[in-house]
Chains A and B, each alone.
Chain A
Amino acid sequence: MTKRLLAVVVVALGASAALAAGPAPPKGTVSINLPGDAGFGFKPGPGVESAQRYCLTCHSSAYVSTQPVLTKAQWTAEVTKMKAAYGAQIPDDQVAPIADYLTTAYGKPG
């Protein structure tokens, strides 16, 4: 019905070699493949290109879509925080367009 796992777990060396004497400390390499943003994306709408360009650098669109309905003032505060506190490379003239996009696309339930 659906693909079972996102990724394969590879235990290269003895990570699972816990002995009867008791659990052993980890040894060797463990590798995973994270899914990235597969299946996620911003809703279409005016300004979506800017949101894609500057927000998705650091995090998936689910950071936006799972928020409660926020006002334009709240979205503006979030975009400003991303720029000022988290170092997002959002040009000054893109803060308002991104906040407008988020308010229009995510400003009502659903």
Chain B
Amino acid sequence: MDRARFLVSAGAALGATAFPGIAGAQATVTLPMQNGLRPLVAFPQKRPLILLTPRPPQLETPMAVFDEGVFTPNDAFYVRWHLANIPQSVDASTHRIAVDGAVQRPLSLSIDDLAKMPTVEVAAVNQCSGNSRGLFSPRVAGGQWDNGAMGNARWTGVRLRDILDRAGLAASAKQVQFNGLETPVLPTTPDFKKSLDVDVARGDDVIVAYLMNGAPMPILNGYPVRLVVPGWYATYWVKMLSDITVLDHVDDNFWMKTAYRIPDAPHANVAPGSTGFATMPINKMDVRSFVTNIADGASLKAGTTVLRGIAFDGGSGIRRVELSTDGGTTWRDAALEQDYGKYSFRRWNTRWEARPGSYTLAVRATANDGSVQTSTPIWNPSGYMLNTIGTYKVTVV
């Protein structure tokens, strides 16, 4: 895949021409895909990010942000909403989470109630199911993200299991359904609700978080409280969490039964154009890695160069990251940096004695569960779970 990655046109001239009416559009970015021109726009509580759609808001994090540190700053964290009725004013002091359904004691919990329960913190990657959808070949319809619909944060809150135990699950409990404050514009549009099997919901690391990187989260990331499901795609991380409903059946709402389904096949991979295959709800993330300090198409000076990046998977942790400077023919091990836990970005680095010429860099990660990225692209009709080895063309002068 040929990627003229990240051509940033700084200054107002091009931005003003391409997106004349957008306040705050300070520059444009051309993502490596057809119709890839995007404005960089600062939304409330956010620095300028790559604007995919303004309503509902969808904002992508530039790859260079991931080079700033292992945790993604709250003001640079990507944004993705499904439904356009998003509360633009939220009072954490009066917010309640209703816990009901197949429970012994229905609850109505305030943030203060949560704060009195045992506090837990987990470092975890939040990645959109459709991250990198714009890089699918053949292309598929949907939100056309490059690789920036992801971020890594320290999430602080309480274990979902502690909440469920306080309510007391009925013997009939099968799944736990989550709803937030966003609602559809039309009454005929299905409200956005997601569900987890009881055994997943009761996992050690699933939390109801009220802090993100030690601070209240931006409204666009779910203020005042959201679900955090480490290792699983972000569709389950319901924002502005308001309802926890224990179901005595498998959820058959649209967002579980019809949307966010993947082929029931390894790595969600089917032949392009396939139909009629069995499906399942999307779940754990596949292993991925990126170079964060050198963009595709970059020009470097000859000499010792540090290559740096990130890797993560669906919760087994990263065992190994390898780098190639010849397009994947030969590989060398990169050094893994500090370990912030099995759900976090793992930073890596390696030195490269760069001599003049043209090179194709490639990075691949291996997870502790043995899964490894490959150079064979996957395909599915919804454009989920892309994790092909990324390549970066560079020129050394």
Asked if B43 and A34 make an inter-chain contact with CB atoms under 8 angstroms apart, the answer reads yes
A51 CB to closest chain B CB (Å) equals 15
Q: Given A29-B91, A31-B88, A59-B84 in contact, is the A40-B215 Cβ separation under 8 Å?
A: no
Residue A20 at the chain B interface, CB threshold 8 Å: no
Interface string of B338-370 (1 = CB under 8 A from A): 000000000000000000000000000000000
Q: Which of A1-58 contact B (CB under 8 A)?
A: 1-9, 13, 15-16, 18, 23, 25-40, 57-58
CA distance in complex: A58, B83 (Å): 7
Q: Which residues of B contact A59 (CB under 8 A)?
A: 53, 55-56, 84
Residue A88 at the chain B interface, CB threshold 8 Å: yes
Q: Given A6-B42, A25-B112, A63-B53 in contact, is the A39-B25 Cβ separation under 8 Å?
A: yes
A23 CB to closest chain B CB (Å) equals 4
Chain A residue with the shortest CB-CB distance to B140: A68
Q: Which of A68, A74, A77 contacts B33 (CB 8 A)?
A: A68
B: number of interface residues (CB 8 Å): 68
Asked if A4 and B186 make an inter-chain contact with CB atoms under 8 angstroms apart, the answer reads no
Interface of chain A: mostly helix, strand, loop or mixed = loop
B209 CB to closest chain A CB (Å) equals 10
Residue B266 at the chain A interface, CB threshold 8 Å: no
Q: Which of A53-72 contact B (CB under 8 A)?
A: 57-60, 62-63, 65-70
Asked if A6 and B44 make an inter-chain contact with CB atoms under 8 angstroms apart, the answer reads yes
CA distance in complex: A77, B275 (Å): 14
CA distance in complex: A58, B188 (Å): 11
CA distance in complex: A33, B224 (Å): 17
A4 CB to closest chain B CB (Å) equals 7
Asked if A6 and B23 make an inter-chain contact with CB atoms under 8 angstroms apart, the answer reads yes
Q: Which of A78-110 contact B (CB under 8 A)?
A: 78, 85-89, 109-110
The interface centre, meaning the residue of B23, B38, B52, B111 with most chain A CB atoms within 10 A of its CB, is: B23
Q: Which of A7, A30, A60 contacts B55 (CB 8 A)?
A: A60
Q: Which residues of A contact B112 (CB under 8 A)?
A: 25
Q: Which of A4, A58, A69 contacts B34 (CB 8 A)?
A: A69
Known: A3-B24, A5-B23, A25-B216. 7 other contacts (CB 8 A): A2-B26, A23-B214, A25-B224, A26-B111, A34-B43, A40-B21, A40-B54
